[in-house]
């Protein structure tokens, strides 16, 4: 349910002086994810992309497909060259992408130095032939593509995952709940028209390999789909969804169709899935230990989901067998999945006791996903929090008895009082009414997900915050996004309510807000959910306007409508929207060590782009039109363009690769639409000069609905840039905002579809 409201007069709030608190915390190293000492200025670093596999990438390409090497190089931000064999690859190629023709690679690929070379077999399925079996087995990874549909997005996703530059698993495991949907189609083609709707609420998509039906020339179907057919099915699915994929070969004894007479066949298919860059590999526990151990050791950046299913009806959660099954599963797993069929409703509570026991006695074990099958076990599906299997009405069959959709689970949680109805707001200013059309979209998402919440778009005065605290200071407040973003210092210093919450220590700040000071999302959490998180700490509060701290503070808290068991978390989602946009067609390594230009009218508008570029490990950021705050300037390597000479100096460093870190590779503009001429001029200055296959990146954050003189994106594309606009960032930011506000995943493709801008 959605509505659009005007700002109402806010109730008078009494200001309370709040002591400044700066609790000690430990920071997360941006590059390697290790725990470190606090950063300069007590500002923590963020967990972002990693350096990943730094070995020389060698692309093994088929006849007439040499051009694919250039695309891989561009996505990785490197130059390339073609060699005659692996014996010709030397230390001089360390910073390059090397291409080797398949016919030449076969002669010496087995003897390559695996410590310095990562080999990727790249095969075009349009050629009508399956990949060379020998090269498939010898290479570390295999990328399948079609000439018609191959895109930089597919390659970026593939290399970002296989080379370990992006890690979706850690992000998913940090969510309060995760779901995956199983595509039970005999052919993935049948799922593609509805994949955007099917995956609303899902965090991953399972491809049931055992349910695939490969047609044969005689009109029958193969008893087991061939590897080439399965590979093409995975390719098709990956081309149409940005969600992680779960690769499952369910056996006949566990309600599947994959034969059990040859366990080595499972290894052949599951290991090939690792080579294809599939994010999650379902490995059944009945398989021999040698196979499970080998897959675990060879998993690379993929994650192993150890699967146990019992259809006998005799399995008991309190038994020694259940605990022994968990221990055995956890030996070679990143996630343990245990599923059983039950006969009595009370066995759901036995499962919950088992779940709590495992958590208490095995705190360092992999996460447990455990549910009961059948109608009697549906209650357990509402309580499971890790990768709950879900279905959808558009699927031809359910993957297991008793499966529920994400909407049905949320509706059940609401009926059980575990998902109470909340008021969620989109807080705009009169000058940002362009965001009002988001209200129907949020309502559509809530309806599709079965969420009971009410969403309203409201307006606050441009420089007033009294109405903001009035909306937040409610018993049923469920969170809000703010457009445009607001300085958290302004919110706290101008609001007695924000300064007084959390026993006077103020709201909890995410790392991103601590780094850049800007808030665009207010999240409601229970007090016990954030205490162990190193990414959150209390806000340093500003002094209040009254002297009697004890009496005034107690009055303010007693008048608060926000329940005392909850706290507010100040978050910033926009920087992740920018990060996702910049890494859609380029791997994070394309930005590492490079230079960037950021144009903005003030430091607030530049804050989110600066943080995204920092997460991408950009070495230097040239600034135009604004002066960064002291805190930001201290934590970022900034250099202002204060003269034509300084701009010309950066421009002359355009000879790649010798000075590739000095010349700006990415230009981000946060200037208003009326300044598009200035943006276009700067884009021309830093555009590619002379013949070059190496593209740069341009991101225009200006609202495209307003009239402008000239189109900077068009100019950028003409100057050799890969250009992106505010609509891309807004879609990715909306995805992140929904995750923060309601803990549910709505894929980027669905956001673009709902906004009338299909992704494909």
HEC-encoded secondary structure of 443-510 = HHHHHHHCCCCEEEEEECCCCCCHHHHHHHCCCCEEEEEEEEEEEHHHHHHCCHHHHHCCCCCCCEEE
Q: Exposure of 479 by Cβ count < 10 A (0-12 exposed, 13-18 middle, 19+ buried)?
A: buried
pLDDT band (50, 70, 90) for residue 59: very high
User: Nearest-CA neighbor of 640 among 660, 620, 654?
Assistant: 620
Instruction: Please tell me the chain's helix, strand, coil percentages from 3-state DSSP, rounded to the nearest 5.
Output: 40, 20, 40
**Per-residue pLDDT tens digits for 206-228:** 999 999 999 999 999 999 999 99
DSSP string covering 255-279:
TS-B-SS-HHHHHHHHHHHHHTT-S
Q: Average pLDDT, stretch 175-201?
A: 93
**Per-residue pLDDT tens digits for 91-146:** 999 999 999 999 999 999 999 999 999 999 999 999 889 999 999 999 999 999 99
Cβ contact 570:519 at 8 Å: yes
pLDDT at residue 19, as a whole number? 35
pLDDT at residue 561, as a whole number? 85
**Angle at which helices 346-361 and 320-331 cross, to 10°:** 50
**Per-residue pLDDT tens digits for 549-559:** 333 333 343 34
pLDDT at residue 41, as a whole number? 31
Place of tokens 């959390």: 502
- In angstroms, rounded to a whole number, what is the distance separating the alpha carbons of residues 112 and 250? 35
- In angstroms, rounded to a whole number, what is the distance separating the alpha carbons of residues 613 and 579? 8
- In angstroms, rounded to a whole number, what is the distance separating the alpha carbons of residues 731 and 723? 16
- In angstroms, rounded to a whole number, what is the distance separating the alpha carbons of residues 438 and 7? 18
- In angstroms, rounded to a whole number, what is the distance separating the alpha carbons of residues 249 and 283? 8
141 or 647, greater pLDDT: 141
- In angstroms, rounded to a whole number, what is the distance separating the alpha carbons of residues 589 and 411? 42
pLDDT band (50, 70, 90) for residue 537: low
3-state secondary structure 493-561: HCCHHHHHCCCCCCCEEEHHHHHHCEEEEEEEEEHHHCCCCCCEEECCCCCCCCCCHHHHHHHHHHCCC
Distances from the Cα of 114 to the Cα of 74, 210, 277, 652, angstroms:
23, 33, 18, 38
- In angstroms, rounded to a whole number, what is the distance separating the alpha carbons of residues 215 and 213? 6
pLDDT at residue 707, as a whole number? 67
* Terminal Cα-to-Cα distance of the chain (whole angstroms): 29
Query: Is a pLDDT exceeding 70 seen at residue 738?
Result: yes
Poorest-pLDDT segment among 123-137, 167-181, 593-607, 709-723:
709-723
pLDDT at residue 39, as a whole number? 32
Q: Average pLDDT, stretch 351-377?
A: 97
pLDDT at residue 689, as a whole number? 59
Cβ contact 125:99 at 8 Å: no
Q: Write the Ramachandran bin of 290: left for phi over 0, alpha for psi from -120 to 50, otherwise beta.
A: alpha
- In angstroms, rounded to a whole number, what is the distance separating the alpha carbons of residues 73 and 668? 22
**599, two tokens:** 């144009």
pLDDT band (50, 70, 90) for residue 752: confident
Domain residue limits, the chain: 45-150, 168-415, 423-572, 576-733
Query: Is a pLDDT exceeding 90 seen at residue 732?
Result: yes
Poorest-pLDDT segment among 244-253, 362-371, 398-407:
398-407
| Side-chain-side CA neighbours of residue 473 (13 Å) | 24
Query: Is a pLDDT exceeding 70 seen at residue 436?
Result: no
Average pLDDT, the chain: 85
pLDDT at residue 552, as a whole number? 33
**745, two tokens:** 């995943």
Matching CATH number, 168-415, of 3.40.50.920, 1.10.540.10, 3.20.20.70, 3.90.1010.10: 3.20.20.70
**Per-residue pLDDT tens digits for 373-394:** 999 999 999 999 999 999 999 8
Place of tokens 């870190």: 661
Q: Exposure of 672 by Cβ count < 10 A (0-12 exposed, 13-18 middle, 19+ buried)?
A: middle
Query: Is a pLDDT exceeding 50 seen at residue 534?
Result: no
Query: Is a pLDDT exceeding 80 seen at residue 470?
Result: yes
Which span out of 385-394, 485-494, 640-649 was modeled with the highest average pLDDT?
385-394
Cβ contact 399:184 at 8 Å: yes
- In angstroms, rounded to a whole number, what is the distance separating the alpha carbons of residues 634 and 656? 29
SS3 666: strand
Structural fold of domain 576-733: Rossmann fold (3.40.50)
- In angstroms, rounded to a whole number, what is the distance separating the alpha carbons of residues 409 and 265? 36
Distances from the Cα of 133 to the Cα of 102, 122, 227, angstroms:
12, 12, 10
Poorest-pLDDT segment among 196-200, 254-258, 265-269, 661-665:
661-665
Q: Do 423-572 and 576-733 have matching folds? A: yes
Cβ contact 205:185 at 8 Å: no
**583, two tokens:** 């890494």
pLDDT band (50, 70, 90) for residue 433: low
Query: Is a pLDDT exceeding 70 seen at residue 204?
Result: yes
User: Nearest-CA neighbor of 77 among 660, 653, 598, 611?
Assistant: 660
Matching CATH number, 423-572, of 3.30.465.10, 3.40.50.10860, 2.30.42.10, 3.40.50.2300: 3.40.50.10860
Distances from the Cα of 181 to the Cα of 28, 95, 247, 346, 631, angstroms:
32, 40, 12, 27, 44
Place of tokens 């499966």: 403
pLDDT at residue 387, as a whole number? 98
pLDDT at residue 538, as a whole number? 55
**Per-residue pLDDT tens digits for 662-710:** 679 999 999 998 898 989 988 998 886 554 556 899 999 998 666 677 7
Poorest-pLDDT segment among 12-21, 310-319, 524-533, 635-644:
12-21
- In angstroms, rounded to a whole number, what is the distance separating the alpha carbons of residues 383 and 41? 42
435 or 270, greater pLDDT: 270
696-700 sheet: strands from edge to edge:
638-640, 620-624, 595-599, 664-669, 696-700, 721-724
Query: Is a pLDDT exceeding 70 seen at residue 257?
Result: yes
pLDDT band (50, 70, 90) for residue 25: very low
**Per-residue pLDDT tens digits for 270-300:** 999 999 999 999 999 999 999 999 999 999 9
| Side-chain-side CA neighbours of residue 364 (13 Å) | 1
């Amino acid at each position: 349910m959605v509505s659009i409201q005007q700002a109402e007069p806010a109730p008078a709030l009494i200001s309370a002086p709040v002591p400044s608190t700066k609790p000690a915390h430990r920071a997360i190293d941006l590059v390697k994810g290790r725990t470190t000492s606090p950063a300069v200025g007590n500002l923590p670093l963020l967990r972002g992309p990693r350096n990943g596999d730094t070995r020389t990438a060698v692309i093994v390409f088929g006849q007439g497909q040499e051009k694919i090497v250039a695309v891989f190089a561009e996505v990785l931000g490197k130059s390339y060259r073609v060699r005659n064999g692996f014996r010709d690859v030397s230390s001089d190629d360390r910073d390059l992408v090397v291409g080797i023709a398949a016919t030449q690679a076969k002669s010496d690929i087995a003897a390559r130095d695996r410590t310095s070379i990562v080999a990727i077999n790249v095969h075009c399925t349009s050629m009508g032939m399956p990949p060379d079996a020998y090269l498939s087995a010898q290479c570390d990874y295999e990328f399948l593509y079609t000439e018609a549909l191959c895109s930089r997005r597919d390659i970026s996703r593939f290399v970002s995952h296989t080379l370990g530059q992006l890690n979706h698993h850690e992000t998913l495991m940090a969510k309060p709940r995760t779901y995956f949907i199983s595509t039970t189609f005999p052919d993935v083609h049948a799922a593609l028209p509805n994949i955007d709707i099917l995956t609303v609420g899902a965090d991953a998509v399972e491809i049931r390999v055992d349910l695939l039906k490969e047609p044969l020339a005689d009109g029958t179907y193969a008893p087991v789909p061939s590897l080439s057919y399965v590979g093409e099915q995975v390719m098709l699915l990956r081309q149409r969804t940005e969600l992680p994929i779960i690769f499952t070969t369910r056996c006949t004894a566990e309600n599947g169709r994959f034969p059990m007479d040859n366990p080595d066949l499972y290894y052949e298919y599951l290991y090939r899935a690792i080579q294809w860059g599939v994010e999650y590999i379902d490995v059944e526990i009945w398989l021999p230990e040698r196979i499970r151990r080998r897959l675990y050791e060879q998993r690379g950046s993929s994650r192993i989901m150890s699967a146990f299913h019992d259809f006998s009806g005799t399995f008991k959660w309190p038994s020694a067998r259940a605990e022994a099954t968990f221990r055995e599963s956890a030996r070679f797993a990143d996630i343990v999945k245990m599923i059983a069929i039950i006969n009595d409703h009370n066995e759901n509570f036995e499962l919950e006791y088992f779940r709590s026991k495992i958590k208490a006695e095995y705190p360092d074990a992999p996460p447990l996903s455990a549910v009961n099958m059948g109608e009697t076990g549906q209650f357990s599906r509402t309580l499971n929090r890790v990768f709950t299997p879900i279905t959808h009405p558009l699927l031809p069959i359910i993957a297991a008895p008793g499966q529920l959709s994400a909407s049905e689970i949320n509706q059940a949680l609401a009926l059980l009082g575990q998902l109470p109805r909340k008021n969620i707001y989109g807080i705009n200013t009169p000058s940002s009414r362009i965001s009002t059309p988001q209200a129907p979209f949020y309502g559509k998402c809530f309806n599709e997900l079965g969420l009971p919440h009410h969403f309203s778009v409201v307006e606050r005065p441009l420089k007033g915050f009294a109405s903001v605290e009035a909306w937040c200071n409610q018993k049923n407040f469920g969170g809000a996004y703010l457009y445009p973003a607001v300085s958290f210092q302004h919110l706290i210093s101008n609001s007695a309510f924000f300064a007084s919450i959390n026993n006077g220590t103020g709201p909890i700040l995410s790392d991103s807000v601590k780094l850049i000071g800007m808030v665009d999302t207010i999240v409601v959490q229970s007090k016990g959910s954030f205490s162990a998180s190193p990414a959150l700490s209390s806000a340093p509060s500003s002094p209040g306007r009254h002297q009697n701290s004890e009496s005034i503070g107690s009055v303010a808290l007693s008048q608060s409508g926000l329940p005392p068991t909850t706290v507010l978390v100040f978050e910033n989602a926009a920087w992740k929207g920018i990060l996702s946009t910049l890494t859609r067609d380029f791997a994070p390594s394309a930005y590492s060590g490079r230079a960037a230009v950021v144009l903005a009218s003030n430091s607030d508008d530049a804050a989110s782009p600066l943080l995204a570029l920092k997460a991408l490990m950009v070495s230097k950021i040239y600034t135009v039109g604004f002066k960064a705050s002291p805190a930001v300037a201290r934590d970022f390597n900034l250099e202002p363009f204060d003269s034509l000479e300084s701009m010309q100096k950066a421009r002359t460093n355009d000879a790649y690769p010798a000075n590739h870190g000095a010349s700006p590779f990415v230009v981000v503009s946060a200037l208003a639409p009326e300044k598009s001429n200035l943006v276009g001029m700067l884009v021309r200055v830093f555009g590619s000069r002379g013949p070059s296959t190496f593209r740069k990146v341009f991101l225009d954050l200006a609202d495209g609905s307003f009239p402008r003189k000239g189109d900077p994106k068009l100019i950028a594309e003409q100057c050799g840039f890969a250009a992106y606009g505010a609509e891309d960032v807004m879609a990715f930011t909306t995805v992140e905002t929904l995750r923060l506000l309601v803990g549910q995943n709505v894929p980027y493709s669905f956001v673009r579809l709902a906004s009338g801008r299909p992704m494909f």
